Amino acid sequence: MNESILLPRPRILQTYRLILRQIRESDAPDTVRILTNSRCAETYMLPDYPSPDDALPLARRLADLSEKTEAEDKLVYGVALREDDRLIGFLNEVAREGDSMEIGYVLHPDYWNRGYMTEAFREVIGMLFRCGYSAVRAGYFEENAASRRVMEKCGLGLTGESEEIDYRGRKHRCVYREIRKFGRMRKAVAVVPYSPRWKEDFSLLRDRIAGAAGTFLSAVEHVGSTSVEGLAAKPIVDIDAVLIAPDLFPAVKEALAGIGYEYEGDRGIPGREAFRYVGAEILPKHNLYVCPPDSPELARHLALRDWLRANPAGAEAYGRIKQRAAEDWPYEIERYIEAKTPFIESVYRAAGLLPSPVRPARKEDAERLAEIRVFCYRTNFYPVFRDDGYYFGELSVSALAQHIRESEVFPDAYAVFDDGAVKGYCRIEGSELKELFVEPCLQNRGIGAALLGYAIRERAVDSLWALEDNTRALRFYARFGFAPDGARRPESGTEHDLIRLTRNGD
């Protein structure tokens, strides 16, 4: 799209907790309450209103402006809570130059420090980029740390510009920040704590879909992270509508069109057909896919959902992975997806939906296994034991490789992760996991999970010993149902203890 062509703005925007909408005449008491609040006046650049009656003209002016959504009209959105539609603030256009817009906002102090304005501002930035703007800009008083954090979380960087402003008898330094589109929409990745509302939202959407197309569907499934109780997620409900038979898709497509859905093809992923809601009715944010009964994508969605529901510790770990990825890559969805993919693939492999890269070890693997173990020992255990003589003298790849080759249990007790290169291994004797190591620079990519999944699934591993001080390893094993059983023993030659972890059930 040519960025000089600016599109009309939508009348309503929705986020996880908010509706950005027209300011109505009935909102006047709330608008006046915001405009006359003394803390708002200290924080935002607002006119001085001696009484509520004095603020009414601006309240009415904001309401009038918010009705207009053409590209040339001034931007104003009221910020209202989804739960009761109460107006708690507003965002407005401050200035415009070509396809760059400066935005200001006001939020009532009762709602500060809850992430509301970050949520609203992100949505407006994304909308403006979709409408053809190339940059969004905002300013704040230098001492206003809360507004600085809002802008940082929304991806606005310092422009290097600032100016001194005389406001209410005091001089303030106004600092400016900006975010640029760089030729494509930069949509914020928001991962939020679990909300019981997601289950209610799904029920509403399921009933609506089933009412229109249920004759042709065998199921309407709630999938994705919002379907798992307690799991942090992007606040968008994912739905898979399952066809009774593939040839019924045209009938479902027509039925969904009748309730406001637009067909978008498979978006490059065979086995699912995507639909986007474009209807007039306000609905919870959601993704809808129609799948044939033998769809591999459907099988993957259900396998991940069911595993997460059955494994609370694993679900908690997955939630942390997503939250960290969203913090690290808030405007790079590709990096966010990349960060969580290893965990997801480990679940798919456990369900038999992806070929396993784990294979039995071969004699020629000995030197590579020794390399991995040496690097892991130096990375993970040297900081605990601080034994220079052992870790950087006695411990060597060549000596360890020879020891492995001469072992009575090699190679039968060993399995390796090999996806073209050996990146990790485990050693299993009976039902006990004796060793599990992953090349340090390749950790947190699902390799350890694949090895442990293999050990549990193929070799019926149900116990192991781990260093009590290695909390990272203990958290990892907990994801797979391993817990301390009370047994402990000293680690030979040290003052540290090993504890036994055991696993019950599937």
Per-residue model confidence as pLDDT tens digits over 169-183: 888 889 999 998 764
Cis amide bond preceding 411, omega within 30? yes
For 377-420, give the DSSP string. IIIIIHHHH--HHIIIII--HHHHHHHHHH-TTTTTTEEEEESS
User: Which residues are CB-neighbours of 165 under 8 A, at least 6 positions away?
Assistant: 45, 171, 172, 173, 174
Same domain, 176 and 227: no
Out of 350, 384, 415, pick the residue that ends a domain. Answer: 350
Same domain, 362 and 345: no
- Distance, CA of 89 to chain centre: 26
Same domain, 160 and 298: no
Angle among Cα 45, 48, 51 to the nearest 5 degrees reads 135
Secondary structure percentages of the chain, helix, strand, coil, to 5: 40, 25, 30
Residue 1 has a pLDDT of: 36
User: How much is the average pLDDT of 321-345?
Assistant: 79
Residue 183 has a pLDDT of: 40
Model-wide pTM > 0.75: no
Per-residue model confidence as pLDDT tens digits over 295-313: 999 999 999 999 999 989 8
Domain containing residue 27: 13-180
Residue 266 has a pLDDT of: 87
Same domain, 257 and 379: no
> Is the CB of residue 449 less than 8 Å from the CB of residue 397?
no
Amino acid, single-letter form, for residue 426 = C
Per-residue model confidence as pLDDT tens digits over 139-169: 999 888 889 888 888 888 888 888 888 888 8
Per-residue model confidence as pLDDT tens digits over 87-112: 999 999 999 988 899 999 999 999 99
- Look at residue 185 and tell me if it is in a domain: no
User: Which residues are CB-neighbours of 142 under 8 A, at least 6 positions away?
Assistant: 162, 172, 173, 174, 175
Per-residue model confidence as pLDDT tens digits over 389-420: 888 888 889 999 999 999 999 999 999 999 88
Residue 187 confidence (pLDDT) above 80: no
- Look at residue 8 and tell me if it is in a domain: no
Distance CA 366, CA 306 (A): 38
| Pairing of the two strands 463-467 and 237-243 | unpaired
Out of 350, 370, 396, pick the residue that ends a domain. Answer: 350
Residue 178 has a pLDDT of: 92
Same domain, 161 and 47: yes
Burial of 245 (0-12, 13-18, 19+ CB in 10 A): exposed
Residue 8: CB atoms within 10 A of its CB come to 12
Same domain, 344 and 377: no
Same domain, 251 and 362: no
Same domain, 17 and 121: yes
**Max Cα distance, the chain (Å):** 91
Residue 380 has a pLDDT of: 74
Per-residue model confidence as pLDDT tens digits over 43-61: 888 888 889 999 999 999 9
Residue 211 confidence (pLDDT) above 90: yes
- Look at residue 298 and tell me if it is in a domain: yes
Confidence of residue 185 (pLDDT cuts 50, 70, 90): very low
Residue 426 confidence (pLDDT) above 80: yes
Residue 32 confidence (pLDDT) above 70: yes
- Look at residue 441 and tell me if it is in a domain: yes
The count of structural domains within the chain is 3
Same domain, 298 and 412: no
Confidence of residue 331 (pLDDT cuts 50, 70, 90): low
Please provide the average confidence, as pLDDT, over all residues in the chain: 89
Residue 90 has a pLDDT of: 96
User: How much is the average pLDDT of 352-364?
Assistant: 88
Q: Which residue has the tokens 């606040």?
A: 235
User: How much is the average pLDDT of 200-219?
Assistant: 96
Distance CA 138, CA 36 (A): 22
Same domain, 452 and 401: yes
% of residues, the chain, pLDDT over 70: 97
Residue 86 confidence (pLDDT) above 80: yes
User: How much is the average pLDDT of 19-37?
Assistant: 93
Please indicate whether residue 268 or residue 204 has the higher confidence score (pLDDT).
204
Residue 424 confidence (pLDDT) above 90: yes
% of residues, the chain, pLDDT over 90: 54
Out of 180, 208, 223, pick the residue that ends a domain. Answer: 180
Residue 188 has a pLDDT of: 67
Residue 450 has a pLDDT of: 85
Find the CATH number of the domain harbouring 279. 3.30.460.10
